[in-house]
């Protein structure tokens, strides 16, 4: 495969990275569902928790599936499940409908996140893997920060857009997802498929016996826990401490993803010119400052600063931890990918704990839960060898 062809084949893969960002709509969507149905924080947080629960169930089997049907076909399957999940809410926003939609969104995203990184590696090779995956996270973040704006646009129209109010974002992402699926389908990508020689489930789990794989798994759990936690908690902080309405506070989610996008874009450059460990230390330092400001901040400026800092700081944690694990076991990349994506189960654990903590003592309790994840990332620094 020539270098020019590699660049061309990355285009549909990057569009799939954009579609992977659809999962982040769950943060703003859960806030609107909470308002529509009159739910408590702990009940509303079931939605983001449910989305990421499926990573625990499907990630490792998806790594095994890739060995049988190939990386591209696995990504295509994930895209089909994703667009189905986006189609369902167009018919209603009852509790049951949203549970089904978010479950399918989580399943599709588990399949996609497990298979798309190895597919990108198949095209680009080992060199500059961390920066390539970080650029993919930049593309993903574009979809993430657009979601709150699309929801606000639909919710604030005099005549609800297409009769869907805030759910118009599902329609828009459904159309984009369908186009992305077709684009990848017609793109020829050559890969070797091992057929029936896939590892067993226990073979995959045994890889957690390698310290760097296990510690990277926990790092990704903390990364996504902080990501989903900030996504859902940032608007609530502004509503609790500054007195904003939900539509006004929804900008906080976009602000987070704007800085995640900036972080991913600049990170793809910095990771080419400096050691991964140095950039990791810088990223976690920003997150430490953010947690302090979130916990004690009482003004809009302080809270916006905190949200921006955690957005930038958290933007590259996944790529750095993922590539560290993937390159440590080069002969088991599909299986390691499944294990790392299983770490996104942190998106289930953190919101549930944050929901109970915030119901008990306010949003400061939710911040404390996220701060525990940041403390773990500090302990991960010595494990980064590159």
Give the number of C-alpha atoms closer than 13 A to the C-alpha of residue 194, restricted to the C-beta side.
Answer: 13
pLDDT at residue 193, as a whole number? 67
- Residues 151-187 pLDDT 10s: 878 877 745 656 678 888 889 999 999 999 999 999 8
pLDDT bin (cut points 50, 70, 90) of residue 2 is very low
- Residues 141-150 pLDDT 10s: 788 878 878 8
296 has a pLDDT exceeding 90: no
pLDDT bin (cut points 50, 70, 90) of residue 108 is very high
Q: What is the mean pLDDT of residues 82-101?
A: 89
Cα angle value 89/100/179 (rounded, 5°): 55
DSSP 206-220: HGGGSHHHHHHHHHH
Helix, strand or coil, per DSSP, at residue 93: coil
344 has a pLDDT exceeding 80: no
Q: How many residues does the chain have?
A: 386
Q: In terms of Cα–Cα distance, which of 367, 355, 373 is closest to 291? A: 367
pLDDT at residue 226, as a whole number? 92
Average pLDDT, the chain: 84
pLDDT at residue 305, as a whole number? 95
Cα angle value 97/360/310 (rounded, 5°): 75
Range picked from 185-194, 235-244, 281-290 for highest mean pLDDT: 281-290
Count of C-beta atoms within a 10 Å radius of residue 125: 12
Q: What is the mean pLDDT of residues 252-260?
A: 85
Nearest-angstrom CA–CA distance, 98 and 104: 10
Cα angle value 17/21/23 (rounded, 5°): 130
Give the number of C-alpha atoms closer than 13 A to the C-alpha of residue 112, restricted to the C-beta side.
Answer: 31
pLDDT at residue 313, as a whole number? 94
Higher pLDDT, 171 or 351: 171
Higher pLDDT, 210 or 345: 210
221 has a pLDDT exceeding 70: yes
Q: Three-class SS string for 95-110?
A: HHHHHHHHHHHHHHHH
321 neighbors 341 (Cβ within 8 angstroms): no
268 has a pLDDT exceeding 80: no
Q: What is the mean pLDDT of residues 308-324?
A: 90
133 has a pLDDT exceeding 80: no
Q: In terms of Cα–Cα distance, which of 306, 312, 177, 230 is closest to 27? A: 230
pLDDT bin (cut points 50, 70, 90) of residue 86 is very high
Helix, strand or coil, per DSSP, at residue 329: coil
- Residues 227-249 pLDDT 10s: 888 988 888 888 888 888 877 88
- Residues 368-384 pLDDT 10s: 999 999 999 999 998 88
59 has a pLDDT exceeding 90: no
pLDDT at residue 198, as a whole number? 56
């Amino acid at each position: 495969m020539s270098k020019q062809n590699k660049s061309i084949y990355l285009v549909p893969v990057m569009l799939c990275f954009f579609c992977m960002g659809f999962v982040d709509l769950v943060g703003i969507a859960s806030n609107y569902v909470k308002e529509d149905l009159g739910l408590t924080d702990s009940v509303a947080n079931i939605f983001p928790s449910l989305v990421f629960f499926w990573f625990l169930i499907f990630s490792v089997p998806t790594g095994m599936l890739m060995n049988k049907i190939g990386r591209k076909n696995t990504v295509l399957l994930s895209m089909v499940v994703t667009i189905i999940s986006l189609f369902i809410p167009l018919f209603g926003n009852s509790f049951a409908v949203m549970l089904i939609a978010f479950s399918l969104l989580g399943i599709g995203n588990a399949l996609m996140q497990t298979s798309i990184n190895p597919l990108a590696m198949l095209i680009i090779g080992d060199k500059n893997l961390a920066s390539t995956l970080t650029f993919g996270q930049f593309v993903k973040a574009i979809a993430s920060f657009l979601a709150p704006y699309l929801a606000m646009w639909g919710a604030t129209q005099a005549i609800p857009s297409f009769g869907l109010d805030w759910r118009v974002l599902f329609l828009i992402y459904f159309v984009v997802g369908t186009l992305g699926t077709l684009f990848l389908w017609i793109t020829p990508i050559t890969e070797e498929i091992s057929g029936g020689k896939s590892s067993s489930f226990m073979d995959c789990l045994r890889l957690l016996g390698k310290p760097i794989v296990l510690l990277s798994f926990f790092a990704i759990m903390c990364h996504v826990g902080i990501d989903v936690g900030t996504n859902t908690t940032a608007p609530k902080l502004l509503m609790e401490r500054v007195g904003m309405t939900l539509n006004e506070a929804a900008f906080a989610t976009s602000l987070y993803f704007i800085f995640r996008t900036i972080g991913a874009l600049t990170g793809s450059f910095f990771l080419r010119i400096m050691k991964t460990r140095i950039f990791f230390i810088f990223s976690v330092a920003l997150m430490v400052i953010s947690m302090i400001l979130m916990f004690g901040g009482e003004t809009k400026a302080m809270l916006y600063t905190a949200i921006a800092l955690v957005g930038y700081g958290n933007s590259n944690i996944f790529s750095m931890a993922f590539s560290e694990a993937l390159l440590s076991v080069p002969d088991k990349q599909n299986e390691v990918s499944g294990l790392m994506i299983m770490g996104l189960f942190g998106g289930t654990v953190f919101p549930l704990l944050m929901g109970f903590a915030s119901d008990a003592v306010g949003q400061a309790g939710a911040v404390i839960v996220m701060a525990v994840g940041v403390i773990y990332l500090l302990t991960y620094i010595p494990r980064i060898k590159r």
